[in-house]
Structure 1
């Protein structure tokens, strides 16, 4: 698809296009815009589907379709449903409708990712939704902020399990038309319960090619372009580029179960040999941040409260130590990162064999521990807006994504304590203790934190710059 195809949706079927916002998005719908899939994030970014809870910039839970909530027992929460909300089809939001939407999500196949490993039930009691979990879960409000648990009108949910978001959301923009994997059209919903949107509508084109998205900004075919590649950013006028820290860290995982990196001293030698600044300046053209921990600037509280690591393990001699370093080609920068890292490690004395494949062809071997070192671009904050799930998966003995094959009692204990902590400052502090425990092992060496690059025409005002990529067009977004 070229940038020129954006003109196909420059005006809605009903008439005038003045002030409508044209958006070039990275990925086309994969599941018919079902909120139970990753397509839910599109509905959220267009402000058409809403959840009971929102997350603020710090990742704390805030009211949305629920005005308040209370934890009434270890396993039970009550959410008060907002009065006066009308869906785009004219039906009303009630506790029964909200509970029904959550129940359908728990029964979906496949289950929404936010509910992996979580057993949850929802029922209506008066004007409240009562949510009960099998195990105590201090993050229930955060889970309900996931776009995959959006609340749609009852008619959105078909008997076959399919969900149709067209005309069934509650947000400031009404989804009126979807043209397969090509375009989508949204009009302002003047009956919105909150502040009326300033733009009359949104016209979306799905443009997987990064060069075409950047070209659409240069040509004026798009007002906003998602995920502009680093290689294209330099071709755009400076005033049309925004860089937003992402909760995504480029990390080197070292195999602690077998091979050279069973040795803490050799892991420390790797840590000492890496020049992350060279990677940021060279590979990312300065459009990334050197890592100071697993959690980056997208989580402001992480930098504010980061724990001291104390005295570190001294590096051992790496002279003549043979290792295999692997990564995948799906993310354009990673093969180049691997090449630069190979040179740095060789400079420290390691003999480095480099392996690069498509992710689908390398993940199985990586999880099986067939490489000594693996470079991964990893999201550190998953759907709940909380990094503990990432730490559980990647660094605990039973972790489902433990590329480092780490099994450390101190790490497991620290992660358990973080998982049990209440949301807010106590959980932040416990999470940073877990981060420090992981970093002390040198099983994972964070190198840099990535940024998402967004293109905005100079005529655009107040588009959202969201590191979690949940919000893009808000009620304030408009054209000059």
Structure 2
């Protein structure tokens, strides 16, 4: 039986950055912590967008959408949610110096309140995916009081079931129950969300009971957790691919034959079986083969040293300085993945060094193009629950998260056409074509398609795993008494 006086501890794999700015990845922390809510919500189980702070929406013209704001919602500071406060919050994100990948001036022209309960969004071109964009955590709504200081202050200014009350910078966030939550009774007294980048530590803490829920468990820890009688390991398919990013704007990676040589040197089958212990599948490219927008022509590349050496010769490559792989430490397995890649490339005469960094420490250099290779991962539906967000931000010439520094006119034209395609089948065909271009150009080496793996103590009740880690603490989350 649930004990409403209980609190829980959640181990998360990343810490907030950028002073809680909603256009940053801090929005994910506020969302999973049960503070931040959006107008719409993507329901992974149903595979569709459903109402949240908005009860309905309609496209009133090719470039205009109206959203009706839910009645009876109050911010945690007691002020009323209305169209004016929603528009102000969204405009704050829209005007950010570095726009959110899902919601920025390139996709939304304006946001205005047309009456007390209606917000109108106008887009530069016809855009059938506006409701998907409003489900992005970056479009979470805060009260006007959150924007009165020099930086955004979410403490007490959300609409969700939990109120942030204190923070240990880069360590943890403490939350209390919102007794006036519009969505009904909140079944926990509160929670602590800890920011623990080391996957082995997250696994150990849920096993010992120091944590009640641990997110993103590394493959190497799964077997021991599965043997624990008081821990459940939850797995779900996700659109997340471990990727060896290559800097397409920097020699020798600016030569497509060199990039193809790197891909040919890798043994993805062995990588999936060894490092990932069978908990991942060899990648077929930027999409998983089971996704409806994946090209039917895609297949997992096989290791071929002879082909790789031939491609190196065509590229005119001569071994010189060791090429550096940056391995993101939040994913514990990447240290081993980097070692496997280093060995594979050594076999074709390409020397490699390895450096481990936290993602925050690596991101600025990677975005600036000051790197060779990066081991990281990206969930294709994390920004917006449709591939258009990932395909635009990560690979168009002006993409705001183009870590690969790839630019191709034909690719950009395909994406521009997909952006305005209202027919789903037509849009998916265009996504498949975009994936084929990325594969043909060997923009990156996509390694394995991973599962989302969380661990939960047996006394946690009503926890529903979200493969995108956006909704963890909810009003329904509960814990039995000890």
TM bucket, shorter chain: 0.7 to 0.9
Going from structure 1 to structure 2, the CA distance change for 1:62 and 1:458 (only over 3 Å counts) comes to same
TM-score, structure 1 length as denominator? 0.80
Could you say which residue in structure 2 is the equivalent of 1:276? Answer: 268
Rounded Cα–Cα distance in structure 2 between residues aligned with 1:418 and 1:25: 34
Q: How does 1:39-438 map to 2 (within 5 A)?
A: 39-57=26-44, 60-109=48-97, 111-118=99-106, 119-126=108-115, 127-158=117-148, 160-171=149-160, 173-175=161-163, 177-181=165-169, 182-238=171-227, 239-252=231-244, 271-296=263-288, 303-309=291-297, 316=307, 318=309, 321=313, 322=318, 326-331=324-329, 332-345=332-345, 350-358=348-356, 371=372, 375-396=375-396, 408=408, 410-422=410-422, 424-438=424-438
Residue 446 of structure 1: CA displacement? 1.9
User: 2:93–2:104: 8 Å Cα contact kept in structure 1?
Assistant: no
Q: What are the superposed Cα offsets for residues 122-161 of structure 1, whole Å, 9 maximum, x if unpaired?
A: 2111221011234444332222222222112333331x34
Q: What are the superposed Cα offsets for residues 77-124 of structure 1, whole Å, 9 maximum, x if unpaired?
A: 111111222222332221122112222333445544543453532211
Rounded Cα–Cα distance in structure 2 between residues aligned with 1:310 and 1:37: 33
User: 1:214–1:232: 8 Å Cα contact kept in structure 2?
Assistant: yes
Is the partner of 1:465 in helix, strand or coil?
coil
Residue 41 of structure 1: CA displacement? 1.4
Is the partner of 1:129 in helix, strand or coil?
strand
Going from structure 1 to structure 2, the CA distance change for 1:123 and 1:438 (only over 3 Å counts) comes to same
Is the partner of 2:225 in helix, strand or coil?
coil
TM-score, structure 2 length as denominator? 0.80
User: 1:240–1:456: 8 Å Cα contact kept in structure 2?
Assistant: yes
Give the RMSD, CA atoms, in angstroms.
3.7
Q: What are the superposed Cα offsets for residues 384-413 of structure 1, whole Å, 9 maximum, x if unpaired?
A: 233334333544455566666655554333
User: 1:367–1:402: 8 Å Cα contact kept in structure 2?
Assistant: no
Going from structure 1 to structure 2, the CA distance change for 1:212 and 1:67 (only over 3 Å counts) comes to same
User: 2:394–2:402: 8 Å Cα contact kept in structure 1?
Assistant: yes
Could you say which residue in structure 2 is the equivalent of 1:5? Answer: none
Residue 431 of structure 1: CA displacement? 1.4
User: 1:139–1:423: 8 Å Cα contact kept in structure 2?
Assistant: no
Could you say which residue in structure 2 is the equivalent of 1:21? Answer: 8
Rounded Cα–Cα distance in structure 2 between residues aligned with 1:201 and 1:365: 37
Residue 56 of structure 1: CA displacement? 1.9
User: 2:163–2:178: 8 Å Cα contact kept in structure 1?
Assistant: no
User: 2:294–2:431: 8 Å Cα contact kept in structure 1?
Assistant: no
User: 2:33–2:193: 8 Å Cα contact kept in structure 1?
Assistant: no
User: 1:338–1:354: 8 Å Cα contact kept in structure 2?
Assistant: no
Rounded Cα–Cα distance in structure 1 between residues aligned with 2:405 and 2:63: 32
User: Which has the higher mean CA deviation after the structures are superposed, 182-191 or 79-88?
Assistant: 182-191
User: 1:51–1:147: 8 Å Cα contact kept in structure 2?
Assistant: yes
Residue 269 of structure 1: CA displacement? 5.7
What number of residue pairs does the alignment pair up?
456
Could you say which residue in structure 2 is the equivalent of 1:453? Answer: 453
Is the partner of 1:293 in helix, strand or coil?
coil
User: 1:243–1:287: 8 Å Cα contact kept in structure 2?
Assistant: no
Rounded Cα–Cα distance in structure 2 between residues aligned with 1:364 and 1:32: 20
Residue 358 of structure 1: CA displacement? 5.0
Rounded Cα–Cα distance in structure 2 between residues aligned with 1:325 and 1:262: 13
Going from structure 1 to structure 2, the CA distance change for 1:200 and 1:412 (only over 3 Å counts) comes to same
Q: What are the superposed Cα offsets for residues 280-301 of structure 1, whole Å, 9 maximum, x if unpaired?
A: 122223332321331238xxxx
Q: Which runs of 5+ in 1 are unaligned?
A: 1-15
Is the partner of 1:428 in helix, strand or coil?
helix
Rounded Cα–Cα distance in structure 1 between residues aligned with 2:75 and 2:248: 53
Residue 208 of structure 1: CA displacement? 4.4
Going from structure 1 to structure 2, the CA distance change for 1:44 and 1:259 (only over 3 Å counts) comes to closer
Could you say which residue in structure 2 is the equivalent of 1:35? Answer: 22
Residue 51 of structure 1: CA displacement? 0.8
Residue 50 of structure 1: CA displacement? 1.0
Question: Is 2:471 the partner of 1:471?
Answer: yes
Residue 362 of structure 1: CA displacement? 9.5
Going from structure 1 to structure 2, the CA distance change for 1:432 and 1:89 (only over 3 Å counts) comes to same
